[in-house]
């Protein structure tokens, strides 16, 4: 069938709309980011076959019910926690994502946060800009010789491992979905369980999706298992790290510093965690590079087209 109608409900690199609009079987590409849930439902009810989102908007059961012609939802990025996958499955709506495009960007940002925490970069910059010369205040620590513990050793975890090894770090990993030989092939020493990782890691970095299983994975019990003075990094999804538990661990000194790009509620506002002097926080920008955003736009446009055409899919979620 020709005449596909595709709705872009998020701001994407123009490569997505260009690629879709040049497809001979696509009749219409509509880009309207930032609609309210009701307005989006009303638009999708006008006969759209494909919807492309980022981490917003939420694709709820109600939205899918309103969009009766919808055949595919494309997530321009990795995390699909904003999409009701059960409702999509029940309605036979295919869900695809673009998980490979942002790997390098997120891995680099993870390291950027780690360097920033280790050397107090944000605070030192703010101090100098305020006219001070606080040289003695900023005593950092080196990464070489330290142990990094990766919670999740998928694409991004593996890319972080590769970079951390080049810095002279020992890299441990815990991933119950991968066999130990896969971790070893990714340059990561496998550990038996999360506690074993937390007991040895100087830096704990989270690279898992948000699921019922991972929500609160780093909670009070996990912080209690960590080494004194550990550093915590999260560029995965808000909610995996229990923010109250992290704040308590920062205040007690159990955790020396944290680098956070994702939050349970986004935007989080100037919370005690975000404004904590030993936290470096960024507004969910790990995947926000020119290169990654162009790749992700192309990847999701191609994948959505393949789904509409009934072709084999590279990244089918549902």
Residues that bind ligand MLT (CB under 6 A): 54-55, 77-79, 102, 287
- Give least dist CB 13 to ligand MLT, A: 12
CB nearer to ligand MLT: pick between 117 and 236: 236
- 79/268 with CB nearer ligand MLT: 79
Comparing CB distances to ligand MLT, the nearer of 78 and 158 is 78
d(CA 233, CA 167): 17
Q: Which of 43, 54, 237, 298 is catalytic?
A: 237
CB of 31 to ligand MLT, least distance (A): 17
Q: Which residue has the tokens 């780690």?
A: 114
Is residue 206 classed as helix, strand or coil in its secondary structure? Answer: strand
Q: Rounded to the nearest whole angstrom, what is the least distance from the CB of residue 129 to ligand MLT in the complex?
A: 29
Cβ-based nearer residue to ligand MLT, 69 or 266: 266
**DSSP letters of 122-169?**
HHHHHHHHTT---GGG------TT-EEEEE--SHHHHHHHHHHHHTT-
Instruction: Find the shortest distance in angstroms from Cβ 315 to ligand MLT.
Output: 12
**How far is residue 8's CA from residue 31's CA, in Å, rounded to a whole number?**
5
Report the C-alpha gap between 73 and 70 in whole angstroms: 8
**Active-site residue, selected from the candidate residues 266, 291, 309, 311:** 266
* Contact present, 158 and 205 (Cβ < 8 Å): no
Task: Tell me how far, at minimum, the Cβ of 240 lies from ligand MLT, in Å.
Answer: 12
The reply to whether 237 belongs to the active site is: yes
**Shortest Cβ 28–ligand MLT spacing (Å):** 25
Tell me whether the omega of the peptide bond preceding residue 57 falls within 30 degrees of 0, making it cis: yes
Both structure tokens of 99? 């998980």
In terms of Cα–Cα distance, which of 105, 20, 95, 55 is closest to 267?
A: 55
> Is 119 designated active site?
no
Residue 284 falls in the annotated catalytic set: yes
Is residue 228 classed exposed, middle or buried when 0-12, 13-18 and 19+ CB atoms within 10 A define those classes?
A: exposed
Cβ nearer to ligand MLT, comparing 98 with 226: 98
Three-class SS of residue 20?
helix
Structure tokens at 42: 């009303």
Residues 6 or more apart whose Cβ sits within 8 Å of residue 12: 31, 52, 54, 76, 293, 296, 297, 300
Residue 243: closest CA among 212, 281, 207: 281
The active-site residue out of 278, 284, 314, 316 is 284
Q: Which is nearer to ligand MLT, 26 or 156 (CB)?
A: 156
Minimal distance, residue 6 CB to ligand MLT, in Å:
19
- Closest residue to ligand MLT: CB criterion: 77
Residue 147 or 234: which CB sits closer to ligand MLT?
234
> Which positions are annotated as active-site residues?
237, 266, 284
């Amino acid at each position: 069938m020709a005449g596909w109608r595709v709705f872009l409900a998020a701001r994407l690199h123009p490569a997505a709309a260009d690629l879709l609009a040049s497809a001979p079987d696509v009749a219409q590409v509509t880009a309207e980011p930032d609609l309210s849930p009701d307005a989006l439902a009303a638009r999708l009810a006008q006969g759209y076959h494909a919807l492309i989102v980022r981490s917003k908007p939420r694709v709820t059961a109600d939205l899918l019910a309103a969009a009766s012609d919808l055949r595919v939802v494309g997530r321009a990025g990795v995390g699909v926690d904003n999409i009701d996958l059960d409702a999509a499955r029940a309605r036979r709506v295919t869900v695809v994502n673009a998980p490979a495009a942002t790997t390098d960007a997120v891995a680099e940002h993870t390291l950027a946060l780690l360097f920033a925490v280790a050397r107090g970069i944000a605070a030192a910059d703010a101090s100098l800009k305020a006219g001070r010369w606080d040289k003695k205040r900023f005593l950092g620590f080196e990464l070489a010789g330290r142990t990094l513990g990766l919670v999740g050793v998928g694409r991004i975890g593996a890319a972080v491992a590769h970079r951390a090894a080049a810095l002279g770090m020992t890299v441990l990993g815990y991933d119950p979905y991968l066999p130990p030989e896969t971790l070893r092939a990714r340059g990561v020493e496998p550990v038996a369980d999360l506690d074993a990782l937390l007991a040895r890691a100087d830096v704990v970095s989270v690279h898992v999706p948000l699921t019922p299983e991972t929500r609160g994975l780093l909670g009070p019990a996990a912080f209690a298992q960590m080494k004194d003075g550990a550093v915590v990094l999260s560029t995965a999804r808000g909610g995996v790290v229990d923010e109250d538990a992290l704040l308590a661990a920062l205040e007690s000194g159990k955790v020396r510093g944290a680098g956070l790009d994702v939050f349970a509620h986004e935007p989080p506002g100037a919370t005690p965690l975000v404004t904590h002097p030993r936290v470096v926080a960024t507004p969910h920008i790990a995947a926000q590079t020119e290169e990654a955003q162009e790749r992700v736009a192309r990847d999701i446009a191609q994948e959505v087209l393949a789904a509409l055409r009934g072709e084999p899919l590279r990244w089918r979620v549902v």
